[in-house]
Amino acid sequence: MSFDLVLFGGTGDLAWRKLMPALFQAFRHGTLPRDGRIIGVGRDDLSNAQYQAQICARFDQVELAKRPSEEEFCRFAALLEFVQMDLSHPDDYARLVAKLAERQADVVVMYVATAPSLFTTVCQQLAIAGLNTRQTRVVLEKPLGHDLASNRAINRTVSEVFGEKHIFRIDHYLGKPSVQNLFALRFGNALFEPLWRREHIANIQITIAEELGVEQRGAFYETTGALRDMVQNHALQLLCAIGMEPPINSHADAIRDEKLKVLRSLKPWTAESLTQDVIRGQYAAGSIGGAPVAAYREETGVDPHSHTETFVALRTEISNWRWAGVPFYIRTGKRLASRDARIVVNFQPTPHAIFNSQIGDANRLVINLQPKDGLELHLLAQGQSNRRNSQTLSPVQLDLDFDKRFGSERVGAYERLLLEVIDGRLNLFVRSDEQEEAWRWVEPILEHWKNDTLGPRLYAAGTWGPSASSAMIARDGFCWAEES
């Protein structure tokens, strides 16, 4: 199969940090279709050779294991071409038309890795240039809008020129191997399904924590914040994967129909719950790994009086028969105590204690997403003891590390997603109604914060966020996993 992958924003940060390394890994693994071209698009005046040299230099900054040898890059570079375009100038699209007309590829992927303000412009101009054909697929990076109204406007414009089956709204968390194994755990094994409900689960915690601050993206983060950047997309997609009903089959719409039901079942916000069950924070000065780090308000591009949140913790419920009454806790933030993304499923305690001691929260399933990737099952067992009739139980765990088990077979998120686009599979991409429902649910939080003059709670960099986050979960008689 022949393909042309057109990368709008071909000289941008996402292109060299994520997309080019992912495409190279697919090339190295032999999974990238052989007859392909990767066409970078940007405003710079670059020849193909200059563009290839620029990408080659950028590979020095990716992980050592993912860097190509000189011989490997020479072969990969043969796929790379460049077209100079100003995306806001309609006349420039003629250059892209001419480039694509050099051959008639079976599949043309338009990857729009630009500022969100250009999404509709690019799609409209592609249609005017006659490039929205049956062979064309368009990939849209997040954030897709900054609220429900802007998201609807983008989706409406894009859908006027591309059919839904040609639109790939990307959320890279859905391509992570650990998230793929979450679906496998739930729908490929019968072991947990009988327990996956309110009668057996006490609470579920979703944590996406980062040690990094906003780095050089302060100006971008000022207009985004943690709720838009992480909760509206990544965290809610994880919640859907945990909470959804088994789909009737593995087809894209069957999966996305069930995720949509979860989003529509999320408990609506009230004035009381917005006050008690949503915590926003912002990192102050502190230390990471023993080194001092600056406060968010001291970062480049950040307003010194900023109210932008770098941390969010919230409590919600899925109002249906399977999950009624089970609290779901979501927590995400920057400059936290460690880089740690995981889902913790805490099971109910035994209904009748026959041992002398019971350890709280001992029965739990931990789904590690990053940096560790795997499953931990925490149980209680009776160990060796000098006491003849000891009834004391000790915590034990079964630990499955997917990286150790599968090793080189593992495929990175962007690598998997790019191959899925070329193959035309929509399973790992977000449908427009899913996205709009997620925005609809978070919008009351955004409105509430607009009228909150107190602003975010400050927390020291290198901690687990504001103490109010722990107080929120403690009201239900629970605690975050690292506090137990």
Cβ–Cβ < 8 Å for 96, 123? no
- Of 166, 172, 234, 378, the active-site residue reads 234
**How far is CA 259 from its chain centroid?**
15
Mean pLDDT, residues 377-394: 72
Cβ–Cβ < 8 Å for 403, 373? yes
Q: What is the pLDDT of residue 356?
A: 62
What integer best gives the mean pLDDT of the chain? 92
396: confidence class by pLDDT, cuts 50, 70, 90: confident
Rg (the chain; Cα; Å): 24
**Range name among 161-175, 196-210, 249-263, 400-414 with the lowest pLDDT average:** 400-414
Instruction: Kindly tell me the burial class for residue 360, based on how many C-beta atoms sit within 10 Å of its own C-beta (0-12, 13-18, 19 or more).
Output: exposed
Q: What is the pLDDT of residue 408?
A: 61
Beta bridge partners, 398, equal 377
Q: Could you report the per-residue pLDDT of 178-206, keeping only the tens digit for each?
A: 888 888 888 988 888 899 999 999 999 99
Q: Could you report the per-residue pLDDT of 248-284, keeping only the tens digit for each?
A: 999 999 999 999 999 999 999 999 999 999 999 999 9
* 378 tagged catalytic: no
**Range name among 171-175, 309-313, 432-436, 465-469 with the lowest pLDDT average:** 171-175
Query: How does DSSP classify residue 19?
Result: I
Q: Could you report the per-residue pLDDT of 122-151, keeping only the tens digit for each?
A: 999 999 999 999 999 999 988 788 999 999
Percent pLDDT > 90 in the chain is 75
Whole-Å CA distances, 41 to 8, 15, 96, 99, 113: 5, 10, 9, 11, 10
Q: What is the pLDDT of residue 4?
A: 97
Whole-Å CA distances, 34 to 27, 28, 29, 68: 8, 11, 12, 18
Cβ–Cβ < 8 Å for 433, 141? no
At 459 the three-state DSSP class reads strand
pLDDT of residue 402 exceeding 70: yes
Q: What is the pLDDT of residue 354?
A: 78
Q: What is the pLDDT of residue 403?
A: 78
pTM: 0.93
Mean pLDDT, residues 447-456: 93
244: confidence class by pLDDT, cuts 50, 70, 90: very high
406: confidence class by pLDDT, cuts 50, 70, 90: confident
Instruction: Kindly tell me the burial class for residue 110, based on how many C-beta atoms sit within 10 Å of its own C-beta (0-12, 13-18, 19 or more).
Output: buried
Exposure string of 335-346, with b = 16+ CB inside 10 Å and e = fewer, is bbbeebbbbbbb
Sheet-wide strand order for 2-8: 80-84, 35-42, 2-8, 107-112, 136-140, 167-169
Element (H, E) at 311: strand 311-316
Closest CA to 40 of 74, 79, 2, 69: 79
